[in-house]
Amino acid sequence: MTKKSRNTPHSPQRREESLSRDRIIEASIALLDSSGESGLTFRTLSERLATGAGAIYWHVENKSDLLTAACDAIVARTMASCVAGATPQATIRTLALGMFDAIDAHPWVGSALTRVAGQLPMVRIVECLGQQVRALDVSDEDQWAAVSALLHYILGVAGQNAANTQFARTRGVDRADFLDAMATVWSQLDPNEYPFARSLAGQLRVHDDRVDFLAGIDLILSGIESSHGR
Amino acid sequence: MTKKSRNTPHSPQRREESLSRDRIIEASIALLDSSGESGLTFRTLSERLATGAGAIYWHVENKSDLLTAACDAIVARTMASCVAGATPQATIRTLALGMFDAIDAHPWVGSALTRVAGQLPMVRIVECLGQQVRALDVSDEDQWAAVSALLHYILGVAGQNAANTQFARTRGVDRADFLDAMATVWSQLDPNEYPFARSLAGQLRVHDDRVDFLAGIDLILSGIESSHGR
DNA sequence: ACCTGAACACCGTTCAAGT
DNA sequence: ACCTGAACACCGTTCAAGT
């Protein structure tokens, strides 16, 4: 999707087909999108790129590095497309929704994010959230708590959504069918042991993930506001 | 740690050494605790249990099932040990801290939780949180939003903590050393592109994960309270 | 400098065969 | 009913050898 050429500065003929880190990442994303997390293999990838497995290792450290880079490409695009906003709150909301939609489109990003731990993709998200929290006039010592709450909530939802789609894919069913099956299981829980979860089953069937996600963001935002003057 | 015998009701001589689902799960937990996520292998497990790989498959569906069961054992114990509490808020806090400590002691639980999607371990947590949120007098239609925010926040932190320890283990360093190295990287970020993340680097070095975690819980709790009368 | 592809040391899972 | 262990179809990663 993004044009790239900067990575082969020293190859005067610049063949379009030459291998490069960016081309490898691009192909990885395509593979992950079309066949899920288990679809990314050095064998399928090298096949797709018409090269040997070893060639990829010249441009990429290992599989973890590759996955992080692929994840970062998506996160970078998402952060770039969520700039403006009337208020800091509104910007945080669109930013969070942007991540939600990105993970909906690329479920593997959700689980990749839970493995990158302090690397570039995470830094990008922290930075965007942090700038908005600052604009919210949160005191210096409370800023990290606010950003951390938003960040970890987003990561939590991301991980669950990724797991849901992954689970559904493994069983070869639709994501909606999977959630429906889950609701059925929940509705059959022992009413004495699991009264709350059981009562939730119906809601589970009609709920909108995206709306629920935003409700959580709003809850945290209102928590940030209310601990302002303390 | 827990005694078990119920799983072999039809074997009159009940040999202590006989294979059972519980013994397999127990051994898996020991393996995961001592050598991390990559330590759980059907080969090492069958070796440890002095049996063949195939024998394990008679008691367990597959590796995913095994990991879920191991995770559930830890979660069940944790939920069981967090009952009382002066107020619903206090109970939620101890419950959350209980999960934090459990994941600190068993880092693999953190990443396992991001893969179980609506299965037993998750139901247990939802149930415990839900009962407390109910006790908080949150209206029926807002209960799920409150529980979901708490749940996903906990899962997000769990995933990150698991990733941090996993990352540190792979690189063969202490978790503290790893966080210190991360702080150094963050402090060297471009001040124009990443002003917030950069300014956070110092805090990163002296912060207490557990305290930060609790601050996030309190933020969400105060958000729940403030949207009470809306 | 960059690429090839066979080889290595692993995996999870299956299954005929045993008791 | 429960267990054995060899076999299968994969993995990620390495590395001598090529250009």
**What is the spatial distance, in angstroms and rounded to an integer, between the CA atom of A202 and the C1' atom of D2?**
41
Strand D contact with B18 (CB < 7 A) = yes
**What is the spatial distance, in angstroms and rounded to an integer, between the CA atom of B206 and the C1' atom of C4?**
49
Q: Which pLDDT value is given to residue B178?
A: 87
At A94, list the tokens.
């669109």
Do residue B215 and residue A145 have CB atoms under 8 angstroms apart? yes
Q: Which pLDDT value is given to residue A17?
A: 66
Mean pLDDT of chain A: 90
* CB contact at 8 A, B125 and B75: yes
Do residue B131 and residue A164 have CB atoms under 8 angstroms apart? no
Do residue B153 and residue A153 have CB atoms under 8 angstroms apart? yes
Q: Which pLDDT value is given to residue B229?
A: 57
Chain B 49-88, residues with CB within 8 Å of chain A CB atoms: none
At A145, list the tokens.
């708590």
| Nearest nucleotide over every DNA/RNA strand to the B60 CA, judged by C1' | C13
Interface check for A35 against chain B (CB to CB < 8 A): the answer is no
**What is the spatial distance, in angstroms and rounded to an integer, between the CA atom of A121 and the C1' atom of D8?**
39
* Chain A residue with minimum CA distance to B198: A127
Q: How far apart are CA A65 and CA A51, in angstroms?
A: 19
Residues 6+ apart with CB under 8 A from B195: A127, A131
Q: How far apart are CA B129 and CA B217, in angstroms?
A: 12
Give the residue with minimal CA–C1' separation from D11: A41
Number of Cβ within a 10 Å radius of residue A15: 8
First-last CA distance in chain B: 47
* CB contact at 8 A, B149 and A221: no
Q: Which pLDDT value is given to residue B81?
A: 87
Strand C contact with A7 (CB < 7 A) = no
Interface test with A, best of B75, B148, B225 (most A CBs within 10 A): B148
Q: Which pLDDT value is given to residue B217?
A: 98
Residue A21 buriedness (CB in 10 A; 0-12 / 13-18 / 19+):
middle
Query: Percent of chain A at pLDDT above 90?
Result: 76
Do residue A196 and residue B152 have CB atoms under 8 angstroms apart? no
- The closest CB to that of B117, out of A167, A195, A224, belongs to A167
In this prediction the pTM is 0.92
Nearest to A68 by CA among A104, A40, A97: A40
* CB contact at 8 A, A70 and A29: yes
Strand D contact with B43 (CB < 7 A) = no
**Residues in chain B where the model's pLDDT stays below 70:** 1-17, 229-230
**What is the spatial distance, in angstroms and rounded to an integer, between the CA atom of B113 and the C1' atom of C9?**
30
* CB contact at 8 A, A130 and B197: yes
Chain B 62-91 contacts with nucleic strand C (CB below 7 A): 62-64
How far is A14 from chain B, CA to nearest CA, in Å? 31
Q: Which pLDDT value is given to residue A176?
A: 83
Strand C contact with B18 (CB < 7 A) = no
Interface check for B156 against chain A (CB to CB < 8 A): the answer is yes
Q: Which pLDDT value is given to residue A179?
A: 87
Strand D contact with A59 (CB < 7 A) = no
Task: Give per-residue pLDDT as tens, A6-50.
Answer: 333 333 333 346 899 999 999 999 999 999 999 999 999 999 999
pLDDT at residue A160 tops 80: yes
Tokens 């909606």 sit at which residue?
A176
Q: How confident is the model at residue A184 (pLDDT cuts 50, 70, 90)?
A: very high
Interface check for A194 against chain B (CB to CB < 8 A): the answer is yes
Cα B148 to chain centroid distance, Å, stands at 16
- The closest CB to that of A127, out of B130, B154, B197, belongs to B197
Q: Which nucleotides of D are covered by protein (CB under 7 A)?
A: 1-7, 10-16
At B28, list the tokens.
């898996």
| Nearest nucleotide over every DNA/RNA strand to the A55 CA, judged by C1' | C3
At A229, list the tokens.
């003057």
**What is the spatial distance, in angstroms and rounded to an integer, between the CA atom of B61 and the C1' atom of D8?**
19
pLDDT at residue A167 tops 80: yes
Task: Give per-residue pLDDT as tens, A103-149.
Answer: 999 999 999 999 988 899 999 999 999 999 999 999 999 999 999 99
At A128, list the tokens.
């965007």
Chain B 107-136 contacts with nucleic strand D (CB below 7 A): none
Domains, in order of start, for chain B: 1-60 (1.10.10.60), 61-227 (1.10.357.10)
| Nearest nucleotide over every DNA/RNA strand to the A20 CA, judged by C1' | C2
Q: Which pLDDT value is given to residue B4?
A: 31
Strand (E) or helix (H) holding A227: none
